[in-house]
Amino acid sequence: MSPAAHRIAVIPGDGIGPEVIAAARLVLEATGLPLEMREYPAGDACLAERGVALPEETLRAAKEAEAVLFGAAGETAAEVILRLRAELETWVNLRPARALAGVDCLYPQADLVIVRENTECLYRGLESRLTPEVVTATRLITAGASRRIARFAFDYARRQGYRRVTAIHKANVLRQSDGLFLDCCREVARDYPEIDYQEVLVDAAAMYLVQDPGRFQVMVTTNLFGDILSDLAAGLIGGLGLCPSANLGDRYALFEPVHGSAPDIAGQGRANPAAAIMCAAMMLAHLGHRDQAEAVHRALAAAVAQGQTTPDLGGELDTLGMARAVAERLG
């Protein structure tokens, strides 16, 4: 008897989202795994057509699925991807930045993983206009969220064979909030004596990432710093087109490229689908298909190494053409 199909909610979103998602789907279909993928609307176009950026039907489908594959958020990012992260209670945003062989980039040896806290910090939306000319934003940091993200980072390092975890912070200024975050990281670090635990200020971390990224392996940090540093890390390995991410919680998992909707190139078939294809691979691993996940990754790496890429990486293929080059290697 064939195994029950995995139910995947696919949310292509805006701009290049639908293009890179079509590419990722083509690769997923080539794995031959039983996947039941259904698409649901969300985003700017959805808002224009239906008057709502994240329809209830889409949210329900995301909660009923075994995993969610998301394309890109546009102007309505706060109502769509931030709301999905909150509703699905995905408290980890896992962002690996590993250079693929053959990509001309600043740091070909890079192998970094940013573990970004995904529920609090300035992303909580706690802003108030006190007067027309004075606004405050509250940075929420709790011990519970800090401890669990630190524990995730150390467990991830242990599982994946990384030897160092670095907490990124600004506790010299944000004494209370990042002070608490660091206390929690230190407390958790004691349970992982074999892992080298370090702390680096976020501004210094930005410089070291450019000058000597090899000093980092797993970086654990609060939401906003994680957002900024993950784009920096993308810049080291050849750009946002190459960075996938996984939003993980106790019940749900949502996979999305780190890149946005790229309205400047949308609709031209030029978007690099690598990040979306790597998201598909991360999703397969999450669903328990580690071998196929690795096969997808190897197929992508081989296509890139042989120049079968979109123009941003020097190739001549369009988005679907690159996906086909990956899919053919799985056949």
Q: Does 77 contact ligand IPM by CB under 6 A?
A: yes
Out of 110, 246, 258, 283, name the contact with ligand IPM by CB under 6 A: 258
Instruction: Give the strand pairing for 253-257 and 244-249.
Output: antiparallel
Stretch touching ligand IPM by CB under 6 A, among 24-32, 74-82, 149-157, 209-217: 74-82
Beta carbon nearer to ligand IPM, 82 or 182? 82
Q: Please report how close the Cβ of residue 94 comes to Mn ion at its closest, in angstroms.
A: 14
Who contacts 264 (Cβ-Cβ below 8 Å, separation ≥6)?
none
Active site residue 231: yes
Stretch touching ligand IPM by CB under 6 A, among 22-30, 73-81, 103-111, 203-211: 73-81
Beta carbon nearer to Mn ion, 8 or 240? 240
Active site residue 170: yes
Q: Please report how close the Cβ of residue 152 comes to ligand IPM at its closest, in angstroms.
A: 17
Active site residue 63: no
Q: Does 79 contact Mn ion by CB under 5 A?
A: no
Residues 200-229 that bind ligand IPM (CB under 6 A): 227
Out of 14, 79, 227, 256, name the contact with Mn ion by CB under 5 A: 227
Beta carbon nearer to ligand IPM, 213 or 226? 226
Q: Please report how close the Cβ of residue 12 comes to ligand IPM at its closest, in angstroms.
A: 15
Task: Choose from Mn ion, ligand IPM, none: what does 235 bind? Cβ within 5-8 Å by kind.
Answer: none
Instruction: Give the strand pairing for 196-201 and 164-169.
Output: parallel
Distance between CA atoms of residues 13 and 16, nearest Å: 8
Beta carbon nearer to Mn ion, 227 or 256? 227
Q: Does 73 contact ligand IPM by CB under 6 A?
A: yes
Angle of the 290-305 helix axis to the 17-30 helix axis, nearest 10: 120
Q: Please report how close the Cβ of residue 77 comes to ligand IPM at its closest, in angstroms.
A: 4
Who contacts 312 (Cβ-Cβ below 8 Å, separation ≥6)?
239, 241, 270, 272
Q: Does 141 contact ligand IPM by CB under 6 A?
A: no
Task: Choose from ligand IPM, Mn ion, none: what does 21 bind? Cβ within 5-8 Å by kind.
Answer: none
- The set of catalytic residues is 123, 170, 203, 227, 231
